[in-house]
Amino acid sequence: MAKPLLFITEKVGELIYVNEENKIGYYAVIPSTILFNEDLKANEKLLYAVITILANKEGYCFASNTYLAELFNAQPHTISNWISHLNKLNFVCVEIIRNDKNEIIQRRIYPNDTPYTAKMTYPYSIKNTETMSQIGQYNNINNKIDRFFNYIIKKEKQNPEQFTKDEEINFWNLLQKLELDYTEDLLKIFREENIEKLKIIIYALKELFISNKRLLLTKAKRENLILLYDNCKSKEIEYKGTIKEINNFFEYYYISLIRDLEKV
């Protein structure tokens, strides 16, 4: 992996990454939730930006502490501390991949920022203007949705949200209350589009569950969750190819859900 060059532009919150090998430049915009966070050190904010850049292709960053340390002229243990702090503040999610012998073979760092949610605006895009950063964000959220669904429904792998046992029980009770507690055997007879619907709804409920808007969940009803999803999907089809094309369906559904529940 070629060592990149880092440049800070005059535009607030923007960082340029240039790969020395192919000279391709990528831009990472540091969200205001991180840029102006007083609990984060300056280098932790820059590290978050680098993580988002390196997560563009796969949706996660797999760079080692040694590699990242070279970028910042720091020690690997310092990078480890910065990542732990970002993880503690829920700005990144760290997953450890192990082999059959329980040996660590890879660490995956998932950026965990949701700028559309923070701004409470619909995630539209101008046609044909997707950046590498946006594409990486889409891959990232899809990976996180799949990982959480596989854990909460199929009981696979490590808990990606680091729920406590009580939190996990409470969330499962919520799914039971909403009759969304499907078993893996039952899912085998589901059509693919219905499994995708269930994944999006469950992840949106999880985002509310871990946010300061958890009380909204008391207003949630199964039929309304499904109806809202179908309405959002219709809008996605309607806007496709237009100037208001929806470029991140999960964010669109999640924001719509918040607004819907706040009206109740």
Whole-structure pTM value:
0.53
pLDDT at 114 (0 to 100): 44
> In this structure, are residues 155 and 186 in contact, taking their beta carbons and an 8 Å threshold?
no
The Cα 263–Cα 10 span in angstroms is 41
Rounded-to-integer distance, Cα 28 and Cα 42, Å: 15
Instruction: Tell me what pLDDT residue 248 has.
Output: 81
Q: Which domains does the chain have, with CATH numbers?
A: 4-113 (1.10.10.10), 116-263 (no CATH)
pLDDT in tens, the chain (264 residues): 444 444 444 344 445 444 444 333 456 678 878 888 889 999 999 999 888 888 876 678 888 999 899 888 999 999 999 999 998 888 888 888 877 777 888 888 888 754 433 334 445 443 444 444 444 454 567 788 888 888 888 776 666 667 788 888 899 999 999 999 888 888 888 888 999 999 999 999 998 998 878 899 999 999 999 999 999 999 888 888 776 777 788 888 988 999 899 887
Please report the DSSP string for 142-195 in residue order: HHHHHHHHHHHTT--SS-TT---HHHHHHHHHHHHHTT----HHHHTTS-HHHH
Q: What is the pLDDT of residue 25?
A: 47
Backbone angles phi, psi at 29, to 5 degrees: -95, 120
